[in-house]
Structure 1
Amino acid sequence: MAVSVTLPALGESVTEGTVTRWLKAEGERVEADEPLLEVSTDKVDTEIPAPASGVLASIKVAEDETIEVGAELAVIDDGSGAPAAESAPAAEPAQPQAEQAPAQQAPAQEAPAQQAPAQEAPAQQGAAEGTDVTLPALGESVTEGTVTRWLKQVGEEVEADEPLLEVSTDKVDTEIPAPASGTLLEILVGEDETAEVGAKLAVIGSGAAAPAAAPAQPAEQPKA
């Protein structure tokens, strides 16, 4: 049921009043005798209480407007057949903002280590600048040998008579020394490969390389 809020008589000589402030807004719930609005007259400023509990359905007189005593100020719906549904606009709940955790999928990829060049180009290209490493005769009946392991890699420095590779034959396993000092420029026979006696195994480069010389072999002395 709708209950009218009217401007009461505020004194014997008071005939009108001015609405100075509404303490409730349309749609808000009010309780009986709760201050609803403030009114000013030429005699007094006062608050007008709600005549009943319910929802403030409609405000008829806006602020700073003047009305006569007995005029309708507003309508309160007590809940029976309320045209205006009760809607107490409470403070809007703060919507939780989903914290967007940055997808840290930044697997740090390790920078590949700088690889040394596989082969160093010879400083001077010339026949006299390279010393051949050959497979020496390792016995009277030995005609070939198998490279089992290189002790130096291409690009590494080697010293004369320094062990350069290991060779296996059907008679003996031995190390082949470098015939000269310099840089190992090229490997011609890989590991587990077989080469004949006298075959070129590698090339060593140096500033003044001596001609390739096979390891000295003891000469067999014919029996007298």
Structure 2
Amino acid sequence: MTFSLTMPALGESVTEGTVTRWLKKEGDQIAVDEPLLEVSTDKVDTEIPSPVAGVLQKIVVPVDSTVAVGAELAVIADSGSQSVQQPTPASKPVEQPKPAQTVQPVSTPASVSTPAPVSTPAPVSTGATIVSMPALGESVTEGTVTRWLKNVGDKVNIDEALLEVSTDKVDTEIPSPATGTVLTIDVPVDSTVAVGARLASIGVSASAPAASVPTPAAPSQPIVAAPVIQAPVVQAPVVQAPVVQAPVVQPKAPTTQARPDDSYVTPIVRKLAIEAGVDLANVKGTGVGGRIRKEDILAATPRAAATPTAQV
């Protein structure tokens, strides 16, 4: 029996990923949850574990190739199976129809009666969008909220960063799935919840007038504009301040530009840099958007080892 390994969705707004390195080659034995390859997206660099134990039968996507979420990356064969062709299915499974959009029921009047007085507009909710904990990897089952970037009542746009979460494989931002106002924050900071758990709700409230019998408008009174009196403008005297010549300071020699503190480095790369004794500020990233990859740390390790050599 064979299994197909596909590109996972590493974030709600991530639609594709790039294969940066294969950790196994065709014919290798692999265990379940063992790292199989490394991928890079515009938000995160992470390892993809094997969903099953078996033999890596085929690598479909080569290194440095970008594929969409859900695309086949490799084929894994069960340990006890030989390369036997799978029987073709007798019929294609029937696709389940998508659930229709929720339509709020319209209440019908129970009986016809005399017209009621005009009622004031009542707030009508346009529906709340639930923000859930996404699956940030095939073997990730939970995540920890590390920081909320928005508060209750704040306006938020679609795909705007809403909060930051951390898992055992990746630290990343969760974007807003809709445009609106943050109605509730259901999970506080430093709380760990399962994948699919509700994190917050986003919605918009609007006022809709209730249906009523139109009433004739009252005659409007003519509006008489009050005369505007123009006040005289007095020109204030301009006092010329003495100009003081500032001393010329020679600029200091430019120092080595360090990487900004807010540049994103994955936990895997940060741990490897600490173990190798490499300063991340002196490493130039070759990944997507200039991010530092494992290869950059490994390439900088000989330089880091040669630096502390004492001069005699």
Give the TM-score range, shorter chain: 0.3 to 0.5
Greater percentage in helix:
2
Greater Rg by CA: 1
**Structure having the larger proportion of residues in strand:** 1
**TM-score, length basis structure 2:** 0.28
Q: TM-score, normalised by structure 1?
A: 0.38
